[in-house]
């Protein structure tokens, strides 16, 4: 049996589902690019450097280089904060004084429980040294990574299963179907796997870039191929 044998209603439902998948996939790429680049619009394909910032650097430094870059007074401020963290985040000395002043000037206006700014983030305050310290760990913490990884893996695997099952019932060659199905699941797994360990092995950011791209490309390609195949008249 092939998807071409389904009735019109089933084909319509599948086609609408795939349009949602295509839109959601492109939207996720746009969102990731905006978060990593710190820009407000456009399609910004993440660079290796931006991915490296996200997964290997302290969260506060990563944000200052990415999504919060527009709030940074001077580029040198980022280096000052990063150097303070690399030196042990000590609560003393000139480096601490300089870094703390920058954090209060560039970050604490929004990151404060008492902030009245329209885009304030009171749930992530930088009012005290202890609060700031929770964002100085290199890369993602194990708790944050576990939370994000299991949410992503449950969500991605669910819609990937639906897309790949539909693709399995197209009339394309088995070699094409096998390649794209393996690429989508393999890319997703290795992409998420690399999130965990890139802070220990920085070169894994290249795997994040390649495998993330492979996963997205295979999802988009399978969706388009299914749409083309499902409405094609049987030979």
214's CB contacts (< 8 A; 6+ apart) are 183, 184, 186, 187
Q: What is the pTM of this model?
A: 0.73
Half-sphere exposure of residue 193, counting CA atoms within 13 Å on the CB side? 9
Boundaries of every domain in the chain: 3-50+140-230, 58-133
Output the pLDDT for position 112.
74
Cβ atoms of 67 and 97 closer than 8 Å: no
Looking at residues 30-38, what average pLDDT do you find?
81
Confidence of residue 72 (pLDDT cuts 50, 70, 90): confident
Reduced to 3 states (helix: H, G, I; strand: E, B; else coil), residue 115 is: coil
Give the C-alpha separation, 132 to 125, whole Å.
Answer: 8
pLDDT class of 158 with cuts at 50, 70, 90: very high
The dihedral of CA 64, 66, 67, 72: what is its sign? positive
| Most confident region among 94-98, 118-122, 126-130, 168-172 by mean pLDDT | 168-172
The answer to whether residues 135 and 144 touch, using CB atoms and an 8 Å cutoff, is no
Structure tokens at 191: 């992409």
- Determine the Cα–Cα distance for residues 103 and 96; give it in Å rounded to an integer: 10
CA 2, chain centre distance (Å): 35
- What does the alpha-carbon distance between residue 158 and residue 161 come to, in Å, rounded to a whole number? 5
Contact in structure between 177 and 170 (CB atoms under 8 Å)? yes
- State the pLDDT at residue 167: 97
Residue 51's pLDDT band, with cuts at 50, 70 and 90, is confident
CB 157 within 8 A of CB 188: yes
Reported as type and span, the H/E element at residue 3 is: none
Nearest to 163 by CA among 218, 92, 88, 97: 218
Instruction: Please write the tens of the pLDDT for every residue from 52-68.
Output: 877 888 888 888 887 78
Q: What is the pLDDT of residues 161-178, one digit of tens each?
A: 999 999 999 999 999 999
Query: Average pLDDT in the 201-215 region?
Result: 90
């Amino acid at each position: 049996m092939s998807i071409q044998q389904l009735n019109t209603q089933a084909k319509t439902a599948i086609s609408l589902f795939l349009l949602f998948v295509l839109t959601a996939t492109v939207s996720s790429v746009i969102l990731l690019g905006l978060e990593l680049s710190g820009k407000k619009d456009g399609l910004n394909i993440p660079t290796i450097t931006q991915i490296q910032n996200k997964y290997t650097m302290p969260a506060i430094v990563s944000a200052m280089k990415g999504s919060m870059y527009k709030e940074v007074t001077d580029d040198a401020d980022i280096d000052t904060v990063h150097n303070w963290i690399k030196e042990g985040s000590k609560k003393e000395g000139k480096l601490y004084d300089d870094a703390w002043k920058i954090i209060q000037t560039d970050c604490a206006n929004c990151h404060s429980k008492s902030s009245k700014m329209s885009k304030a983030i009171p749930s992530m305050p930088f009012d005290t040294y202890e609060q700031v310290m929770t964002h100085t760990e290199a890369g993602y913490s194990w708790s944050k990574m576990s939370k994000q990884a299991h949410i992503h893996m449950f969500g991605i695997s669910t819609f990937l299963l639906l897309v790949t099952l539909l693709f399995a019932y197209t009339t394309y060659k088995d070699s094409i179907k096998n390649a794209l199905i393996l690429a989508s699941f393999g890319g997703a797994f290795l992409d998420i796997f690399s999130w965990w360990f890139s802070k220990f092995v920085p070169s894994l950011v290249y795997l994040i870039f390649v495998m993330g791209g492979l996963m997205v490309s295979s999802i988009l390609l399978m969706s388009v191929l299914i749409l083309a195949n499902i409405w094609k008249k049987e030979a």
